Structures are given as C-alpha cells and as structure tokens.
Amino acid sequence: MPTELPYAAEAETGLSYDELEVLRTQYYKEIEQGHVTTQSKFNYGWGLVKSSTAELQTEGVKLLQEIYSASPAHRRECTYYIAVGYYKLRNYAYARKFNDLLLSVEPENMQAQSLRQLIDQAVTRDGYIGMGIIAGTAAVAGVILASVLRRSARR
C-alpha cells in the first residue's frame, strides 16, 4: 500500500485566472439579481479555496462556512473543502478539525484520508522548522551570553 494517496489533489492545485473568473462572474451576477444560489456560492467558494493567495483562500473558507452553517443538507460537501482551505492557510488545527468531522461520518473517504496525511506531514514539517528556529535562537543567545560574560570577566 502506498504511503501517499493521490486523492487530495485539491490541496495542491489551483484554478486558472479564467476559470476562477467564470465562477466569480456567476456569483456576482446572482448577487446583483438579489438571490445567490447555494450552488453558485459553493462553486465560487471552492474556486477561491483552490486559489494561490491567502486572501482569496480566506474568502473561500468564509463562503463555504456560511453554507455549512445555513444549510445542513450541504454540510458534507463543504466540510472537505473547508478543511482544504484551512490546510492551505496553514491553520492545521482547523484543517484537522473539519477533516476529522468528515472522517467520523465517512471513515473510508479517500480524499479525507489523503488530506489527513498532508496535514500530519505539514504539522511534522512545521514542527521541525520551529524546533530549528528555537535551536538557532538558543545558540545565538548562548553566543551572546558567552560574549557578555567574557567581557564582564575582563573588567
């Protein structure tokens, strides 16, 4: 069995500008008409989550969470993409929370299993980076302290 599942491709791929523009145009057209369908809002939120900028990803998560809160019938389809959005925003606690919600209902969901692996890998990677920063900071502080102590001893 492979260690990495290919199913969470949404977490690593985006839409082209033109593809996102089609979704944006439909969404804002419906706003102007006074009624946004859940499907248009979902499509635009999904497209924003798949974008490459944190600002757009945040807006996408917000739209999907609005659907999640307002429409219990659409929670399942929103849960995974909210988790993907939080993953892309590096908010791994919320990514894990929403992904685990989906896995609690659908433990065999391959997308969610794959996303869980990506989240776990990112947490581990960021933990190593954090430990490296702390170790580097401690080393620099040690050098500075040793230098100060040597100067004090000379006086």
One pLDDT digit (tens) per residue for the chain, 155 residues: 334 444 666 677 788 899 999 999 999 999 999 999 999 999 999 999 999 899 999 999 999 999 999 999 999 989 999 999 999 999 999 999 999 999 999 999 999 999 999 999 999 987 655 444 555 555 555 556 566 667 766 76
Q: According to the model, what pLDDT value does residue 2 have?
A: 39
For 116, list phi and psi in degrees, rounded to 5: -60, -40
Q: According to the model, what pLDDT value does residue 144 have?
A: 66
CA dihedral 84, 90, 91, 95 (to 10 degrees): 30
Domain chopping of the chain, boundaries: 9-154
Superfamily the domain 9-154 falls into: Tetratricopeptide repeat domain (1.25.40.10)
| Burial (CB count <10 Å: 0-12, 13-18, 19+), residue 17 | exposed
- Return d(Cα 62, Cα 80) in angstroms, integer: 14
